[in-house]
Amino acid sequence: MRTSATERPGFVWVAPALLFFGLFGLAPVVVVGYLSFTSWSGLGSPQWVGLANWSALPGDGQVRGGLVITLTLTALCWATQTPLALAFGVWSAGHQRVRAVVSAVFFLPLLLSTAAIALVWKALLDPNFGVPAQVREWFGLSHSNVLGHPTLALYAIVFIVLWQFLPFHMLLYQAAARQVPRSLYEAAELDGASGFQRFLRITVPQLRHTIIASSVLMLVGSMTYFETVLLLTAGGPGNATRILPLHMYNQGFVAFEMGYASAIAVLLVVLGTGLSLLVVRVTGYSRMTSQREGM
C-alpha cells in the first residue's frame, strides 16, 4: 500500500541527520576536493596549482601499484567474508542456547580497536617468537617470517581483516535470517526438500538484500584498511602491501604533500562510490521487493 506524501514525516525529522552528514560527511570531501588542486605542506596557505596533482597521478608507479593491490585486497576480502558470514549468520540465527553462547564469544573482535587487533596479530606472527616460529618444524615450513614474505603478507592481512569484520557481517545475516517466514521452510519440508536445498532455494534468495548491502559495506570498507596495513607491514616487504590509502598517508604526513595526497583521497572516494554503484546497478538492488515478514 502506497503511503501518501501527507502521511510521511516532514523535513524537520531528517534535518538533524542531514546536518550531521553535511558537516562531517560532505564538507570534508569538498575541502579535500579543493586541496587536490593546490600545493600545500600543511603550514601556511594552499597555493592553487590547477590540475598538476591530477596529471601526476597516472605517472606515479606507486599509485598504479597501490591501486592493483587495493583492488586485489578488496576482492579477496569480499570472497572470504561473504560466504563465511552468510553461513555463520544463518547458523547463529537458530534459537538454541549453544548457538547464542558461541555467537556471543564470536562477536568479541567487534569490541577491539583496529590498532589493538593489528598489534596483537603482529606479535602472534612474530618470526622469532610468534606462532609460525613455534609450528615451523611441525609442518616443515621453510621460513616463519609471514609478514616479511611478499605473497604471504597480503594473505595474512586478508585473514586478519576477516577475523575482525566477519562478526559484523555475520550479525547482519543473523538478523536477516530470523525474518525469513517459517512457512516457506515448512512448505519445503512437506515437499521433501533437504536442509541444503532449503538453504539454497529459500534462505539465500530471501537474504539477497542483505547480501548486497553487506557486499557494498565490504567494498567501501576495503578502502579504509589503512591502519591495519600500516601497523602490520607498513606497506612491505618492498611495496607488496602498499595499498592506495597507505600511499595517500605517506604523501600527506611523511612527504607533507597534502595537495597530492588529497588527489589520491578523491580518487579513493570515486573508486569506492563507483564500486558501490556498480554493485547496485548489476544486482538490480533498486528494483527488488522484500518478501520477509514485517516488511
Confidence of residue 4 (pLDDT cuts 50, 70, 90): low
| pLDDT tops 70 at residue 229 | yes
Residue 180: all three cell numbers together: 525469513
Q: Tens digits of per-residue pLDDT, 57-77? A: 999 999 999 999 999 999 999
Q: Tens digits of per-residue pLDDT, 103-142? A: 777 778 888 888 999 999 999 998 888 888 888 777 777 7
Determine the residue type at 127: P
CB 167 within 8 A of CB 107: yes
- The predicted model gives 190-218 an average pLDDT of 88
Q: Cα–Cα distances in Å, from 5 out to 111, 124, 294?
A: 41, 57, 22
Confidence of residue 292 (pLDDT cuts 50, 70, 90): low
Q: Cα–Cα distances in Å, from 197 out to 24, 91, 187?
A: 46, 15, 13
Distance CA 289, CA 282 (A): 16
CA atoms within 13 A of residue 70's CA, in its CB half-sphere: 26
Measured at the alpha carbon of residue 231, what is the angle toward residues 225 and 232, in degrees to the nearest 5? Answer: 90
CA atoms within 13 A of residue 284's CA, in its CB half-sphere: 4
Q: What is the DSSP string of 150-210?
A: TTHHHHHHHHHHHHHHHHHHHHHHHHHHTTS-HHHHHHHHHTT--HHHHIIIIIHHHTHHH
Residue 110: all three cell numbers together: 567487534
Q: Find out whether the peptide bond into 237 is cis, omega within 30 degrees of 0.
A: yes
Q: Is 265 exposed, middle or buried (0-12, 13-18, 19+ CB in 10 A)?
A: buried
- The predicted model gives 170-179 an average pLDDT of 89
